[in-house]
Amino acid sequence: MRFAVAHKTATYLMVGFAYLAMTTGGGVSPGIALGGLVLLLASWWWEPPRINYDKWSWVWTAASVFALAYCVLTAIVTGDFLGVGAQFLTWLIVAKGFNRKAARDWQQMYLLAFLMLVAGSVLNPELTYGLCFLGFVVSSTWAMTLFHLRREMEDNLLVKHAADRASERVEVRRILDSRRIVGGRFFFGTGLLSFGVFLAAAALFLALPRVGIGFFLKSRSGLTLAGFSDGVKLGGHGVIKNDSTVVMRVQIDPKFGGRSAPQIHWRGVAFDRYSKGNWTRSQRAPETKQRLEQGQVRDRRSLNYDRPAISIPEIDTLATTLVRQDIWLDPLDSDVLFGASLPRIVEYPHVVRRRGTTNERNDEIRLPHGSTIHYSVWSELVPPPPEQLRAASGPLPRGYEVYLQLDEPGKPPEITARTRAKALEITRGLTNNYDKAVAIQTWLTTNLTYTLVLEDPGIQEPVDYFLFDRKKGHCEYFASGFAILARAAGIPVRQVNGFLGGEWNEYQGYVAVRAGDAHSWDEVYFPGVGWVTFDPTPSATVDVLGRGGDGWRARLSRMMDTLRFQWTKWVIEYDLASQLELFKTVGGAIKSAALTVKAAVVSAKDAVLAYWPIGAGLGVGLIGFLVLRRRRSGPGMETGRARRTRVRSTVAEVFDQVAAALAKAGVARDAALTPRELATRMAQRGDPGAPQVGELVELYYVAEWGGRRDPAAEVRAQILAAEIRQALDAARRARRTSGATA
């Protein structure tokens, strides 16, 4: 490849990767991103002799001024300085691509590429950033190396000297067009180097101490997805879309994982107040009772629910009996933390100061986070046995009466009479809350059907419309229907939003929860026992984690998600706790290796002591070998490398063939005779081919000892060898002829 083309290609690759790293995260609007990419590609051909840069410079200057003014105004108006900054970077790189006049412009392209990478670190936390980063590392190594060579040859020192005339600069264009400077080996070698750079960058990334407290500062707005929301509003119409974006990944005890494991309710927000089809969190709802332990690295919260607080040792003991989940949660509109129902302990990275105020009620756990967060939850997955629930009795704890609310106090009743009557009808004859709740759940699942297609209830009360007219709905309708019917039957209940199930990823052993897995269900309170999950929505066709199928597309999709998960786990959410854990693992491995070595040394020592004469002999032999080897390779001695067989030149090989032919013809060379002396002797005796031998010997000396390879001499040597053979053959024939005559 021509040097100039190689440099340009590497530079465009580097800029391209940085550009994609910045734009693929969605921080730049797709139109601008695509337009910028097209213009950047077009700038490849925008160069002399096709284009005169000076002629167009005023256009670019004017356009740049306009772009700057536009971006400043836009940033002030929208307040999105980062996004607008990325747009301005897009403009700058395009403008620079169209104005590659001198080395300075190339340098500015590199700087802009780096700034785009920095911007991308905020705008694009996805796996695409990592892939682009890898491409950037490789291409930047090529580009920077080639740029350095180019600038050296353009700026400095390529001067041709001659003794008889003034020194003159070598024409740079000729070198830029040369194909001999960089080739496949160069790209392969620097590619390997860049791979090493990447590995070193990764190692440094893992080793650099995470001492920052900026967890709070990396703020991005949460994803607005179809699915989970921090609130319930019944009465909408249309079709609910099933969003397949993964929002949460959970590593869970293998007993509860696997493709045949049952689905898990990932509890998020809970509501106590129902009014006009809306579920909300009332100010009267009980605050989440919890105990907070703050550590240097991680904070831990234990939820008490309706029970009294327990001591730290009891929490530690409790943790051993619960099911642990490690959760990586992407930012959503809500700051709630999810956990398998019912979560008891939550542990997350240490928070020095909490951003904003949280309103934790109804046993929700909230932690503001602007990016993906990694935390652990310990949950009670197995509900209490029905007998225990049937036997549960007692007064409601203080404040729990909100979970029996139906109508707004002081306002006309919202819940229709036929709804209340239906509740009584369903629970008639049942004596305990558990049986009543089960009956309501059974009635809902058997008499109503699931649909994602919603109809507008108009002015009709939404639950009433769902229960008696529409008789179809999605999970929020079922959960609301259950809650209203249960409350009408006197059962304390609250509605919960979260996710249900997920897809088991067999490659990495985790559950991928998608936005489309958002779900609503209910929690029923049993005095003395606690909250128990009831899901009145009819089961879907798949009620295990083995969703997605086993086809190659599903497998590929899961494999890609594995990569994303690893990216999130080891890059995006790599924190001090992960670092300490990693160091601990590495330290343990080193310690283990050291112990192994120590054990080996000790056993070797024991063996030496047991067989000391043999050991001493081997030791002396080894030392002797080392000393001998060192002396051999010492100064003044030939090294192993230098002793290698020297490659003979082509002329020397021809000479060897001729010498063999001469020896066969009776003109052998003694060991003490130099080739030149042999030639002289042959000339003196008038041997056949003597002049050619003389010339060949001189060529031999030049080629073999002169240090230069001369193709003309090689050709000449071949000709001389042929002539010598002819002369020897002629002499042989002459001798035969004379012998025959005699």
Partner 1 sequence: MGIWARLRRRLRPPRRLSFTREGRLIVVLSVGVGFAAINTGNNLLYLLLGWLLSFIIASGILSELTLKRLTVQRRPPPRVFAGDPFLMEVVIQNGKENRASFSIEVEDLVGTTPIDKRCYFLKIPAAKSQRTSYRHTFARRGHYTLTGYRLATKFPFALFRKSRDVDAPLEIIVYPSRVAVPRPIPRTTSRGESTADRLGRRGEFHGLRERRAGDDRRDIHWRSSARTGRLLVREYEDELARRVVIGVDNALPEDVRDAVTDGALTPAAETQVSAVERAISVAASLAASYLEIGWTVELCARGLHVAPGVGRIHEAKIARALALLPYVSDEVAFAALPPKIESVLITPRSVAASGRPAATTVMDV
Chain residues binding partner 1 by CB under 8 A are 107, 111, 114, 117-118, 120-122, 125, 129, 133, 137, 141, 144-145, 147-149, 151-153, 156-158, 161-163, 167, 175, 181, 186, 189-190, 193, 196-198, 200-205, 208, 210-215, 217-218, 571-575
Which of 163/672 has CB closer to partner 1? Answer: 163
Which of 129/504 has CB closer to partner 1? Answer: 129
**CB distance 374 to 328 below 8 Å:** yes
**CB distance 440 to 485 below 8 Å:** yes
Distance of CA 71 to the CA centre of its chain: 32
DSSP string, 618-636: HHHHHHHHHHHHHHHTSTT
Instruction: List for the chain the helix, strand, coil content (%; round to 5).
Output: 50, 15, 35
Shortest CB 87 distance to partner 1, Å: 20
Angle between helices 675-685 and 690-705 (to 10 degrees): 170
The DSSP bridge pattern shows strands 246-252 and 503-505 to be unpaired
Whether cis (ω within 30° of 0) applies to the bond prior to 342 is yes
Shortest CB 116 distance to partner 1, Å: 11
Which of 208/602 has CB closer to partner 1? Answer: 208
Query: What six digits make up the tokens of 296?
Result: 């240097």
**CB distance 377 to 340 below 8 Å:** yes
Shortest CB 564 distance to partner 1, Å: 15
Shortest CB 488 distance to partner 1, Å: 50
Which of 123/345 has CB closer to partner 1? Answer: 123
Which residues partner with 435 through β-bridges?
Answer: none
Which of 273, 303, 276, 299 lies closest to 291 in space, CA to CA?
A: 303
Q: Mark 184-199 as b/e (b = at least 16 C-beta within 10 Å).
A: eebbeebeeebeeebe
Q: CB-based contacts of 442: which residues, under 8 Å, 6+ apart? A: none
Shortest CB 215 distance to partner 1, Å: 5
Q: Mark 337-358 as b/e (b = at least 16 C-beta within 10 Å).
A: bbbbbbbbbbbbbbbeeeeeee
Shortest CB 219 distance to partner 1, Å: 9
Which of 161/411 has CB closer to partner 1? Answer: 161
- Dihedral sign computed on CA atoms, order 392, 394, 399, 404: positive
Shortest CB 186 distance to partner 1, Å: 8
Reported in sequence order, the residue ranges of 132-209 that DSSP labels E, i.e. its strands, are 159-162, 165-169
Shortest CB 456 distance to partner 1, Å: 45
Shortest CB 575 distance to partner 1, Å: 8
Q: In what order do the strands lie in the sheet with 232-233?
A: 232-233, 278-280, 273-275
Which of 153/396 has CB closer to partner 1? Answer: 153
Shortest CB 48 distance to partner 1, Å: 23
Shortest CB 205 distance to partner 1, Å: 4
Phi, psi for 247 (deg, rounded to 5): -110, -15
Q: Which residue has the tokens 């707004």?
A: 408
Shortest CB 169 distance to partner 1, Å: 12
CB atoms closer than 10 angstroms to residue 302: 24
Which of 2/681 has CB closer to partner 1? Answer: 2
Which of 4/175 has CB closer to partner 1? Answer: 175
Which of 186/468 has CB closer to partner 1? Answer: 186
Which of 197/297 has CB closer to partner 1? Answer: 197
Angle between helices 184-207 and 127-155 (to 10 degrees): 130
Tell me how far apart the alpha carbons of residues 492 and 398 are, in angstroms, rounded to a whole number: 13
Which of 2/390 has CB closer to partner 1? Answer: 2
Which of 160/307 has CB closer to partner 1? Answer: 160
